[in-house]
């Protein structure tokens, strides 16, 4: 159980497949990752570690993409990594009256060929985060929920 704890913040991580890590770390780290089995993902926003296993630690700087839930990811961080839909685009769509994921996807005109395991840093579908982001935007824009 020891390596489930993030070496930086000491909090518990989530299992992600090496395929996800391998797809998202910058080129010079790929060989270290391939075939290493599972990694853990640190979900704490104030911790700069993204992936770790007993041997290796990859922080936000080691990745090709911003990680939406990490501090400093900003408005241009994707929420849907498969289609490349950012926080800013979700906010703009919500501000113009779109309320559902389908409406927002439509509004952005970005089609999705899902490949969450290779594109999303969490290695899974973004539906839940997408919905949370819509609610966050609607609150920010003082829309009735």
Which residues sit at the interface with Zn ion, rule CB under 5 A?
6, 8-9, 42, 44, 47, 49
Cβ atoms of 122 and 41 closer than 8 Å: yes
Least Cβ distance, residue 101 to Zn ion (angstroms): 29
Q: Which residue has the tokens 């970005």?
A: 110
Least Cβ distance, residue 99 to Zn ion (angstroms): 34
Supply φ then ψ for residue 48, to 5 degrees: -85, -5
Closest to Zn ion by CB, 45 vs 115, is: 45
Cβ atoms of 60 and 67 closer than 8 Å: yes
Tell me the C-alpha distance between 1 and 14, whole Å.
12
Closest to Zn ion by CB, 51 vs 81, is: 51
Closest to Zn ion by CB, 13 vs 78, is: 13
Least Cβ distance, residue 126 to Zn ion (angstroms): 21
């Amino acid at each position: 159980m020891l390596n489930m704890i993030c070496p930086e913040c000491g909090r518990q991580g989530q299992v992600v497949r090496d395929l996800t890590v391998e797809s998202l770390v910058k080129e010079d780290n790929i060989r270290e990752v391939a075939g290493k089995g599972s990694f853990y993902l640190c979900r704490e926003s104030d911790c700069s570690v993204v992936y770790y296993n007993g041997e290796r630690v990859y922080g936000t700087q080691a990745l090709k993409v911003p990680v939406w839930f990490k501090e400093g990811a900003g408005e241009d961080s994707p929420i849907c990594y498969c289609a490349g839909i950012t926080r800013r685009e979700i906010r703009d769509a919500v501000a113009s009256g779109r309320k559902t994921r389908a409406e927002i996807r439509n509004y952005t005109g970005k089609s999705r060929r899902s490949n969450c395991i290779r594109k999303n840093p969490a290695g899974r579908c973004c539906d839940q985060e997408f919905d949370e982001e819509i609610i966050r935007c609607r609150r920010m824009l003082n829309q009735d929920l």
